[in-house]
Amino acid sequence: MRLTGVRLATHEFATDRGRTSLPAWLFDGPDLPEPIAVVALATTAFWRFGEVTGSMELGPATVAADGVTLTRVVVDHSSRPVVVTRG
């Protein structure tokens, strides 16, 4: 396969949660009916061998008065805390 060009653009990808537009490298070639799209991930999206990051932490948990409902705080260091309630 001969590739003749590449450009950074956006492309619509199918995901497990539906379709979404993401930054992508689009590869062109004379024998391609349409460009080949490859997601353009930021370097921070890659895991580095041997590097440990604390990306998620579990906060305190409480049981409601009904004795069934559990509430737990989940802290993702890249965003705000999320309160998860199950019952």
Confidence of residue 59 (pLDDT cuts 50, 70, 90): confident
Average pLDDT over every residue of 11-36: 93
Structure tokens at 17: 């949660």
Confidence of residue 55 (pLDDT cuts 50, 70, 90): low
Stronger pLDDT, 75 or 16, i.e. the higher one:
16
How large is the average pLDDT for residues 41-46?
A: 79
Residue 26 vs residue 50, higher pLDDT = 26
For residues 24 and 72, the model is more confident at: 24
Nearest alpha-carbon partner for 60 in 76, 77, 83, 80: 83
Of residues 29, 25, 28, the one with CA closest to residue 8: 25
